[in-house]
Amino acid sequence: MFAVAQKQWVYVYDNQGIELHCIKKLNKILHMEFLPYHFLLATASEEGYLSWLDISIGKMVSQFNTRMGRLNLMTLNPYNAVVCLGHSKGIVTMWSPNVKEPLSKMLCHQHPLQSLAIDSQGQYMATAAVDRTLKIWDVRKLEGPLQQYKLHAVASNLAFSQRGLLAIGMGNVVEVYRDCCQRPADRPYLRHRLFKRIGNMQFCPYEDVLGVASDSGFTSLIIPGSGEPNFDALESNPFQSKSQRRESEVKSLLEKIQPEFITLDPTVITDVHIPTLRDKVEAKKKLLFLKPPKIDFQPRNKSGKKKGTVKVAQTKRIVREEQRREFVKTLKDAGIGEITSPQNTESSSVSVKHKPFTALDRFKPKKKKEEG
């Protein structure tokens, strides 16, 4: 299956060319990226909207406006699956579907950005601006620039290979640098001139090949040393048979990472969680001295109303609930969380959606219904 962003909307076709879907929620899309381990299609639109669509279940995970105007440049950081956008103010912003604000903003150049690329290990980011400069940044520490280069033309395309070679497309020339991130490179490794202007380029994953799309067609260039020689068959196998492909598809769907986990640092899940145990224990100790407050509320007798009416009982109940909510809130601030208070109501009245009850529904946290 592949997705094509056409003039208005995004269309999805299968490998036979049959149109499967027309996704009207994604309109005027300029860039699309596929997150393979999350099964998400991240798209950037002309009007500044970023959307993430879950391809496996067809649900729009997140869609919001970045308020940064037209999104010209977009890349994916393959290490942590955040979307990096380049803007005309020379800023690079990083976005995750969980947060409506950019995760980070880096001022890279004084001039509008022309192209952006991040290497496969998520260490280096190469940015090129219209003033013919190329800078290499450390994207994990968000620092830099590690290297700065002055090119002889504006770099309209950038691509990193699996082994860290950087291909720069300037007009109709492709230059490949072997190691421009760790040490300042003085000469390119390879240079190739095409007849027409370059459109887009990308390295082939496990081969020493760079595919270049130009106005005159598609060319593949041999760049020795750019591909990863030893692949891991359980990860991606170029020689997989049909049954192996089907098995790996099912396995990858089972291992699909939830979009809530997309953060700048993907190793957070294996770290120890703070608040520490001591804080929790201390909070529990504090709890023993706290008695749930006895609420004695006598409503003011306004203009001779009867005491036992329904309205009076209702106001009493509302005030009692408010006070109990405040008590729970103070406990939460103390870090205790939910205790064994029998009536823990939610502030917003959420109507229980009636969904068909499946076998795994019993693991979902139960939503407490509001009283009365």
Partner 1 sequence: MKVKVLCRNPDYYLRETKRDIYKVPRNYEPSLHPFEGLREYTRALNAVKLERVFAKPFVGNLDGHQDGVSCFGKHPQRLSLLVSGSYDGEVRLWDLPQQKCVRNFRAHDGFVRGIAFLPDGQQFVTVGDDKTIKMWKTDLPDWGEEEEPTNTYISKSVIMGVSHHQKEPMFATCGELCQVWEEDRNEPIRTFQWGVDSLHDVSFNPIETNLLAACASDRSIILYDTRDIGPIRKVIMTLRSNRLCWNPMEAFIFTCANEDYNLYTFDTRKLKQPLQVHMDHVSAVTAIDYAPTGKEFVSGGYDKSLRIFEHGKSHSRDIYHTKRMQRLTCVLWSMDNKYILCGSDEMNIRMWKARSAEKLGVLRPREKTALNYSEALKRKFGSHPQISRIARHRQVPKHVYHAQKELRTIKLKQKRKEANRRAHSKPGTVPFLSEKKKHIVEEQE
Site residues (vs partner 1, CB under 8 A): 37, 78-79, 81, 120-121, 206-208, 222, 224, 227-235, 237-239, 241, 244, 254-258, 261, 266-267, 269-270, 288-289, 291, 340, 359-360, 362-363
Minimum CB distance to partner 1, residue 91 (Å): 26
Question: Which DSSP string do the residues of 156-167 spell out, in sequence order?
Answer: -EEEE-TTS-EE
Q: Find the shortest distance in angstroms from Cβ 348 to partner 1.
A: 24
- Token look-up 């699309």 returns 32
Output the CA–CA distances (angstroms, integers) from residue 161 to 153, 207, 265, in the order listed.
22, 10, 22
Upper half-sphere CA count for residue 364 (Cβ side, 13 Å): 9
For the bound state, the minimum distance from the C-beta of residue 123 to partner 1, rounded and expressed in Å, comes to 10
Q: How many CB atoms lie within 10 A of CB 211?
A: 15
Q: Tell me whether residue 21 or residue 256 sits nearer to partner 1 (CB atom).
A: 256
Hey, CA dihedral for 226, 232, 235, 241, is it positive or negative? Answer: positive
**Smaller CB distance to partner 1: residue 239 or 304?**
239
Nearer to partner 1, 14 or 247 (CB): 247
Question: Least distance (Å) from partner 1 to the CB of residue 337?
Answer: 11
Nearer to partner 1, 222 or 319 (CB): 222
Given a contact cutoff of 8 angstroms between Cβ atoms, the answer to whether 132 and 175 are in contact is no
Residue number, 102 or 164, with CB nearest to partner 1: 164
CB of 154 to partner 1, least distance (A): 30
H helix count then E strand count, the chain: 3, 22
What tokens were used for 273? 């969680």
